[in-house]
Amino acid sequence: MSWLILVASGVMEAVWATALGASHGFRRPVATITFFVSLILSMLGLARAMTDLPTGTAYAVWVGIGATLTVVVGLVTGTERLTVARCLLLVLLIGSVAGLKAVS
């Protein structure tokens, strides 16, 4: 159950990161509210997951999921472009997170 909560928390990290950029310095109310709600949910989920999982592993998985999904959102919306280097680094990031989970 903790892994499921951690994954959901990582997804919320991508939501708050994306909403933070869309808030334009907290000047857009919907994006600002989305940022704060998803930030709180993300932190609560991470804190809950860390009660059962090793802190370093939980944090790395949380960051990995959030960072990867944030880049994917940027690619889908066209605010970021996919390069070979970026693609290889994302694969390395995902592989590293999977590896940490496998050895924990």
HSE, CB side, 13 Å, CA atoms: give it for residue 47.
Answer: 6
**What pLDDT score was predicted for residue 102?**
80
The SS3 assignment for 83 reads coil
Percent of the chain with pLDDT strictly greater than 90: 78
Look at residue 8 in the predicted model and tell me its pLDDT: 97
Asked whether the predicted pLDDT for residue 100 surpasses 90, the reply is no
Determine the Cα–Cα distance for residues 33 and 17; give it in Å rounded to an integer: 12
Take residue 71 and report the two structure tokens written for it: 């880049």
* Mean pLDDT value across residues 52-73: 92
Q: Does pLDDT of 104 surpass 80?
A: no
Backbone angles phi, psi at 103, to 5 degrees: -90, -5
> Residue 46 above 80 pLDDT?
yes
pLDDT-based confidence at residue 65 (cuts at 50, 70, 90): very high
- The predicted model scores a pTM of 0.87
